[in-house]
Amino acid sequence: METPNTNLITLTRHVLSDQIRLGAAATGDLTLLLNAIEVTSKFIATNVRKARLINLVGLAGETNVQGEEQKKLDVLSNDIMVNALRASGKTAVLVSEELEEAIIIEDAQKGKYCVVFDPLDGSSNIDAGVNIGTIFGIYKISPDSKGAIEDVLRPGSEMVAAGYTMYGSSCNLVLSTGQGVNGYTLDASLGEFILTHPNITIPTRGKIYSFNEGNSMYFHPPVNAYLKSIKYPTNGKPYSARYIGSMVADVHRTLLYGGIFGYPDDKKSKSGKLRLLYEAFPMAYLTEQAGGIATTGTQRILDINPKHIHERCSVFLGSRDDVQDLLKFYKDVP
Ligand code: AHM
Ligand code: MG
């Protein structure tokens, strides 16, 4: 029998070792903040797993058999994140997909980081037991700011960290603090995320495309022309289609196996569907850190200057060569 590893690299140990390496510049605040996110991921993971058993499935506002009001999983996930991030004492501004307005943290608990997040992305998949996830991005407030909305209305390239947790057959947390991308798997018996995917790098070319092709009739000409080119190649094999409809799962697969994920703007959804701040930015940040490209088709995603916290944008991301192939169509087909 194999003896257990006694030199486990947990998420906290790994992030701490990075901070120690950075020396005087690091205060440990980011480590503590990430620790709060890690705890929320464990809480959400455990509730996602037993959702059907404890009446977490269904619409918020519905009552269960005991006549108690149910809390939808995404509401619950939002609540735990807001509570844990506020209590960490390391945050100044919070933006959640679930909340219309940003939360400005009161002085007594204020820190210097801003967290933008989608607490439970892909939640329409919950009832079917399909993978869902939490997405987050982290900014540091400007030196002269006390924490204001302007601190998060900044290009994604200014984020200091981004990541996601995927709740699937295993629970995986994927994180970048600006020095590459690492993946950790939750060991439920230990209650710790263990480093299992060090230094994730996207293959330069993949064989998979991931689009909701049901929207083809609305897609702009460059997108349809590109899709045609990979389905009917003049030489070589056509690409395989994989689309889960859960961004975290579709991007996770793209980071590991390569290929291209796309949710473009189209004739119906003029700005696309995905949210810039807490969906597109964190995933674009991770993609670039893993050596890939993330674009709207006409612009690098991380260069966009957000005007509103909930704005949307067109997204294509993945392997360098695949995204460059797509971009050629944007140049050629107006
Ligand atoms: P949500 O934030 O309402 O869950 O929507 C975002 C999700 C993404 O996870 C996924 O990429 C996309 O919506 C799928 O949309 P569609 O069902 O239109 O293909
Ligand atoms: Mg979402």
pLDDT means over runs of 10, the chain (334 residues) = 86 86 75 95 92 66 52 87 97 96 96 96 85 97 94 98 96 96 95 96 98 98 98 95 97 98 97 97 98 98 98 98 98 72
Distance 243 CA to ligand 1 centre (A): 11
Give me the pLDDT at residue 20, please.
Answer: 76
* 243, 247, 252, 257 alpha-carbon torsion, rounded to 10°: 30
DSSP alpha helices (H): ranges in the chain?
Answer: 11-22, 29-49, 73-87, 221-231, 247-257, 281-289, 320-332
Beta strands in 65-219 (DSSP E): 91-96, 103-104, 110-121, 132-140, 161-167, 171-176, 182-187, 192-197, 208-210
* Ligand 1 pocket, Cβ-based, cut-off 6 angstroms: 97, 118, 121-124, 212, 245-247, 250, 263, 273
Q: Whose CA is nearest to atom 4 of ligand 1?
A: 122
Give me the pLDDT at residue 256, please.
Answer: 98
- Phi/psi of residue 252, nearest 5 degrees: -55, -50
Distance 280 CA to ligand 2 centre (A): 10
Report the candidate in 253, 311, 327, 308 with the shortest Cα–Cα distance to residue 283: 253
Q: What is the pTM of this model?
A: 0.94
Burial class (CB in 10 A: 0-12, 13-18, 19+), 271: middle
Give me the pLDDT at residue 124, please.
Answer: 78
Give me the pLDDT at residue 23, please.
Answer: 66
Spatial separation of the C-alpha atoms in residues 304 and 290, rounded to whole Å = 20
323's tokens: 């995204």
Instruction: Say if the ipTM goes beyond 0.90.
Output: yes
